[in-house]
Amino acid sequence: MLELSLVQKISIWVMPVVLAITVHEVSHGWIARKLGDNTAFMLGRLTLNPFKHIDPVGTILIPGMLLLLQAGFLFGYAKPVPINWRNLHKPKRDMALVAAAGPGANLLMAIAWALLVRMGLLLGESGIALVYMGVAGITINIILMVLNLLPLPPLDGGRVMTGLLPGPWAYQFSRIEPYGFFILIGLLVTGILGMVLWPVISVVMSMVVPVSGLSAQKFQLLLLGLMGR
């Protein structure tokens, strides 16, 4: 395993993080358009241009600080794509489908990054950068997918849950949304969030990593090298 400098680590993480966040948001808007809402399209948000989606805090500051502090985990977010539920064909059902599109896109990207790792392995030493970048891509996409599926408004999982619940229950559940971010921070600080998410992340990793051609142990070693551990 190569000893990476901080600059190398950041340069490896930049593209996977930006793509994970950007494609996640674009997928929401793309599905919304298919279901009748053109709001994101009209505002120019159905683009892979990251500058249209970057949130200075969530896309740059938070991931950057976590890398600099070698926190051992990575997290970020983009500006939410605007959705007008009134334009959707079947608002309650369609909002759940729009919400599910983001985590679904992250799963597909994790698999794509795994295939890139396999390509890098075939190239030998000249493909080591692809391998490291692919490991980063698999990791950030699976983390974002599982985190966003947490059934807590305003996360995607909360919106999916709202779409699945009967009307009165859905209304009561949706009232949590103004407090959702503070609940999420509380779960993170107390360690409960990690206890809930990491077992699920590990299961998804165990299904995606073999696609890359790496053993679980080798993947873990490469990831530890990227996270500064």
Residues whose CB is less than 8 angstroms from the CB of residue 60 and which lie 6 or more positions away in sequence, other chains included: 54
Sign of CA dihedral 23, 182, 165, 85: negative
Q: What Cα–Cα distance (Å) separates residue 69 from each residue in 51, 66, 123, 132? A: 25, 5, 32, 20
Distance, in Å, from the CA atom of 7 to the CA atom of 197, rounded to the nearest integer, reads 29
Nearest Cα neighbor of 28 from 144, 121, 115 is: 144
Rounded mean pLDDT, 145-165: 92
Question: What is the per-residue pLDDT for 115?
Answer: 97
Residues 6+ apart with CB under 8 A from 135: 113, 117, 212, 214, 219, 222, 223, 226
pLDDT band at 55 (very low <50, low <70, confident <90, very high): confident
pLDDT in tens, 4-22: 887 888 889 889 988 998 9
| Domain parsing of the chain, residue ranges | 6-227
Question: What percentage of the chain reaches a pLDDT higher than 90?
Answer: 55
Average pLDDT of the chain is 88
Express each pLDDT in 195-212 by its tens digit: 999 999 999 999 999 999
Q: Cα separation of 89 and 111, whole Å?
A: 31
Query: 77-106 pLDDT, tens per residue?
Result: 778 888 998 999 999 999 999 999 999 999
CB contact at 8 A, 136 and 16? yes
Residue pointed to by tokens 């999916």? 160
Q: Is 25 a catalytic residue?
A: yes
Per-residue confidence band for 67, with pLDDT thresholds at 50, 70 and 90: low
Please give the backbone phi and psi of residue 118, each rounded to the nearest 5 degrees, phi first: -60, -40
Q: Which of 3, 25, 125, 177 is catalytic?
A: 25
